[in-house]
Structure 1
Amino acid sequence: MTGFATQQLHAGSPASRVTPRALPIYLTAGFVLDDFDQAVDHFSTGDGFSYTRVANPTNQAVEQRMAVLEGGAEALLLGSGQAALAVTILGLLQSGDHMLSASSIYEGSRGFFVENLPRLGIQTDFVKDANDPDAWERLIRPNTRVLFAESIPNPKNEVLDIAAVAAVASRHGIAFVVDNTLATPYLVRPLEHGADIVIHSASKFLAGHGAVLGGVIVDKDADRLAYLRDSVALRFGPTPSPLNAFLINQGVETLSLRVERQSANALGVARWLEKQPEVLSVDYPGLESNSYFELAERYLPDGTGSVFSFTLRGGIDEVRRFINALEVFTHMTHLGDVRSLVLHLATTSHNLRTDEQLEEAGIWPGTLRVSIGIEDLPDLVADLERGLTAVRG
């Protein structure tokens, strides 16, 4: 008989031939290798599982689902959206290379391009009008290797003409990477319009409940994705927990239901805000008055998303009174939650920008970003009215 310490480690074994309906959580650092020959085969071919940093059945199931939903060949699940961006860019570029990015993008992505990549010898230029193919053409160099943009840019919602930018990338043999976080594959699938790689912050709409972090890369080229997995992600190690993968998968199972409701709520909120005298402008492409309305109809027929910005006529004092009066909207830095969220950009996510940079980006002292949730629309409108009442007072 073995001793107590041995028994507490080895007694009992998983039930065999059990098939759960929900995705199992393989919460383990490593996997038992059946025998010597199977270990040799695994390390030679990559088949099977040995260590979660390399592959995990729970994570793999989410990858397969996301590849199908985005219409890609393969997908890679990572620990955060920033990890998805970093692994993609570091896998495509090396010292001496150049990339182009749309200027209207998530502030964390912009910081990565401006502050981190130059230390690696990689330079980035920004295209102000992302829907002008000539603007991209003029900035392409012989060493340009990547074009980057967001399908629905955060926070100004200038809907991207994906096919137009993809055509430029294709003519020059350049990889076109699209961040599809705010649109999700339910609203648009960039690979179908010519993009090469799609990335997501899975922390947002895919997970949906603001509980976990995650990132996803989906590539139309299986070999390129294999390189990102084996030679970049494996070395840098931004491995997601299988528990996080399980929760992301739970969110993905209701993605269309949530995004449909959120988009409908967002349109209702935007239409209401547009009529309020205290509101200077509403940046929502679902509005007929928005300059991106026709493009949104082309790319986003099932809804125009639920993250957008609007600008109060007043300044910081009015914004403070507005936010502090809200009771249904949650004041926090996040997006894609089932709950509605609000944030003042100039003093939070964009607080390191100069006044000139903020003005160029169309972010004013009164600009607020909202992420609309699945609450009852009348309650959201009543809460915003509560905020505007505080502004009037």
Structure 2
Amino acid sequence: MMGKKNKAETILAQAGHYLDKATGSVVPPIQPSTTFARDEQGALYDANRIYARDQSVNAEMVEAVICELESGEACKLFASGMAAATALVQTLRPGERIVAPKVMYWSLRAWLISFCQDWGIELAFYDPCDEVDMAQVVHASPTHLLWVETPANPTWEVVDIAKAAELAHSVGAQLVTDSTVSTPLLTRPLELGADYVFHSATKYLNGHSDVVAGAVITAKQDTRWERLCKIRAQQGGILGPFESWLLLRGMRTMHIRVERACYNAMEIARHFADYPGVLEVLYPGLVSHPNHETAVKQMSGGFGGMLSIRFDGGREQTAQIMGRLKRFVRATSLGGVESLVEHRALVEGEGSPVPDDLLRFSIGIEAVQDLIEDLEQAIKG
């Protein structure tokens, strides 16, 4: 029985089952050293450690846990989600092609457009709600990377990862899945055929709104993975020892946080699905969601802590509702223990594809009735 893989809850709570042999400490220390010494003959004390830019003790502890959670072959931490995602895209060569969803993380979308234009990489967008459109865009020209974000921020479309992987592989491309919102606890894209998994570890992996980090996990240490590792080492987009330590500490309670956030989000989604003044609740856990069946198939243990609500009255009324909220914090980001709200169209500005009557909610771990009552009073005015 001991040979059986541990469940995610055990992997997270024990965080590598660290024990310090000298002191018996169960919490790993922070190792801030930037360089590692050699003995009198010039041999390294640890042959795997020369310089901390690419050989961080604390980062490697986190990478091992994330890698096990995702059933991957290797994992690399980065200084931010953007650093991780952009490094992955930078493995493309001029003349190659990436296909990405029209609705995705706004900052990455904006960067993709400018980077691909500057570096001669072809970029094409598909409708994440339409499998036929995705296939048509992928087949339109030789494709090298297919990028999927599921659930997709901030309208929470759910893409069938297994079908996307089959499509990508049929044309010799690789599939990247942004699984930030789903987390390894709800979806494991590599087990469904994806080649790479991306996380903004700032969000649910850390879960406490006090670390900026990113992670990429690979199913196989192939040529693209080697390029990505070289990019991280040479460009220096690494995560510091203290931030790595905080991230590991945050991850140890992720299963409890995500479970509670999923429960709260489902309760809120159901409560406001037919509420006066509400046009639509966008949440994959609702039967009314267009991708609900796909979500049921590839998400286990919940449907995430993110949802969006569209309100009567357009942009002005929606902004007023947000302004009247007392318990939700008006702030960017997601995945923390506190509940957040954001008017995405207002934040993204001109050119945003997000409806201006939509508020995005990151549901935290508070008493759900307190959150429901707060939103009710904000809607009623």
Q: In structure 2, the residue corresponding to 1:342 is in which secondary structure?
A: strand
2:6 counterpart residue number: none
Q: In structure 2, the residue corresponding to 1:218 is in which secondary structure?
A: strand
What amino acid is aligned across from residue 63 of structure 2 in structure 1? E
1:73 positional shift: 0.2
Q: In structure 2, the residue corresponding to 1:173 is in which secondary structure?
A: coil
| CA offset digits 1:244-279 (Å, max 9, x no partner) | 111111111111111110001001111111121111
2:190 counterpart residue number: 191
1:17 positional shift: 3.1
What amino acid is aligned across from residue 67 of structure 2 in structure 1? A
Identity of aligned residues (%): 31
For residues 185 and 342 of structure 1, what CA distance do their matches in structure 2 show? Answer: 24
1:109 positional shift: 1.5
What is the TM-score when the length of structure 2 is the normalising length? 0.90
2:180 counterpart residue number: 181
For residues 52 and 285 of structure 1, what CA distance do their matches in structure 2 show? Answer: 42
1:371 to 355, 362, 366: 362
1:1-393 matches, within 5 Å, as 17-39=22-44, 47-91=47-91, 93-129=92-128, 132=131, 135-140=134-139, 143-224=142-223, 227-228=226-227, 230-348=229-347, 350-353=348-351, 358=352, 361=353, 363-390=354-381
| CA offset digits 1:15-59 (Å, max 9, x no partner) | 9934531122111222223344424x97xxxx4212111111110
* C-alpha distance 225-172 of structure 1, shift in aligned 2 (>3 A): closer
What amino acid is aligned across from residue 369 of structure 2 in structure 1? P
Asked whether the equivalents of residues 145 and 176 of structure 2 are also in contact (C-alpha less than 8 Å), the reply is yes
What amino acid is aligned across from residue 284 of structure 1 in structure 2? Y
For residues 29 and 337 of structure 2, what CA distance do their matches in structure 1 show? Answer: 24
1:165 positional shift: 0.6
Q: In structure 2, the residue corresponding to 1:282 is in which secondary structure?
A: strand
What is the TM-score when the length of structure 1 is the normalising length? 0.88
For residues 191 and 131 of structure 1, what CA distance do their matches in structure 2 show? Answer: 22
1:211 positional shift: 0.4
User: How large is the Cα RMSD of the aligned pairs?
Assistant: 1.9
1:226 positional shift: 5.3
For residues 70 and 35 of structure 1, what CA distance do their matches in structure 2 show? Answer: 42
1:4 counterpart residue number: none
Q: In structure 2, the residue corresponding to 1:210 is in which secondary structure?
A: coil
Q: In structure 1, the residue corresponding to 2:43 is in which secondary structure?
A: helix
Asked whether the equivalents of residues 176 and 196 of structure 2 are also in contact (C-alpha less than 8 Å), the reply is yes
Unaligned stretches of 5+ in structure 2? 1-19
| CA offset digits 1:149-171 (Å, max 9, x no partner) | 11211111111100011001111
What amino acid is aligned across from residue 203 of structure 1 in structure 2? T
For residues 343 and 82 of structure 1, what CA distance do their matches in structure 2 show? Answer: 20
What amino acid is aligned across from residue 53 of structure 1 in structure 2? R
For residues 381 and 95 of structure 1, what CA distance do their matches in structure 2 show? Answer: 50
Asked whether the equivalents of residues 267 and 286 of structure 1 are also in contact (C-alpha less than 8 Å), the reply is yes
Asked whether the equivalents of residues 100 and 140 of structure 1 are also in contact (C-alpha less than 8 Å), the reply is no
Q: How many residues align?
A: 362
Unaligned stretches of 5+ in structure 1? 1-14
For residues 86 and 129 of structure 1, what CA distance do their matches in structure 2 show? Answer: 21
For residues 130 and 364 of structure 1, what CA distance do their matches in structure 2 show? Answer: 16
Question: 199-208 or 172-181: which moved more?
Answer: 172-181
